[in-house]
Amino acid sequence: MDARSPGLDEAEMIAAILAGDSDLYHQLIQPYELSVYRMALSLVKNETEAEDVAQEAFLKAFRNLANFRAESKFSTWLISIALNEARRRLRRQSTVRMESLDEPPEEGGKVSPALLRDWREIPSEALERKEVRNLLQEAIRHLSPMYREVLVMRDIEDLSTEETAGALAISISSVKVRLHRARIMLQKELAPKLKLASPKKRRWFS
């Protein structure tokens, strides 16, 4: 769909696009199609909306490409735009959720993990089963937005603590506290369910 320019790195592509070679934008964003969609999907209700948000985010990024500053990573910048686009949409849909989106309450009481006596490693092949994928998706959705955002950015999109703090405009210590709580909440919900979903004889494909 677009001409390959294998010799150009990201910064060169961005410069070329800004200089008028707009078609290079297709190539520039290709590595980030999944991460932007995933960021959106973790925040909005369904796949259709997530796709909309992702498209909007890529369009916004194109229109605002001149504002991109090379001191941040392009991927982080894109993910921030997707985050803001998803938040904007949620705000429009529901005023009830605004509080949790805009004014996260103080990190209150402690969260405790699910107590187990032993854990049998669940191999990633288990993800071939839709049931297991659904369990994980649901558990992420069950987190409130302030925890979900941090977890998705840090553990799924692989942003650093600093990048996450920057994108969310919160402190580094807030990122750490929220991430900790999010991870423990995921463990609490998922460990018992995954244990049940894991048969004694591990026959994931049967």
Partner 1 sequence: MILECKHVWDYISEFLDDSLPAETRELVQKHLENCEICSAILDSTRNILVLTADDRVFELPAGYSERLHARLAREIHGANSRPEKPTQD
Q: Applying CB under 8 A, which part among 7-15, 40-48, 70-78, 88-96 lies near partner 1?
A: 40-48
146 binds partner 1 (CB under 8 A): no
Position 172 contacts partner 1 (CB under 8 A): no
Which of 132, 143, 146, 153 contacts partner 1 by CB under 8 A? 132
d(CA 105, CA 8): 45
**Residue of 15, 84, 155, 202 interacting with partner 1 (CB under 8 A):** 155
Token pair 């989106």 is found at 101
**Whether 135 contacts 193, CB under 8 Å:** yes
Residues touching partner 1: how many (CB under 8 A)? 55
> What does the per-residue mask of binding to partner 1 show for 78-97, with x meaning CB under 8 A?
--------------------
Scored b (16 or more CB within 10 A) or e, 168-192 reads: bebeeebbebbbebbbbbbbebbbe
User: How many Cα atoms within 13 Å fall on the side-chain side of residue 180?
Assistant: 12
Closer residue to partner 1 (CB): 90 or 194: 194
Phi, psi of 33 (to 5 degrees): -60, -45
133 binds partner 1 (CB under 8 A): yes
Q: Three-class SS of residue 59? A: helix
Among 79, 98, 112, 176, which Cα is nearest to 144's? 98
Among 117, 200, 201, 203, binds partner 1 (CB under 8 A): 117
What 3-state class would DSSP assign to 122? Answer: coil
Residue numbers at the binding site for partner 1 (CB under 8 A): 1-2, 22-23, 25-26, 29, 33-34, 37-38, 41-42, 47, 51, 54-55, 58-59, 62-63, 110, 112-119, 121-122, 124, 126-128, 132-133, 136-137, 140, 151, 155-156, 158, 176, 179-180, 183-184, 186-187, 190-191, 194
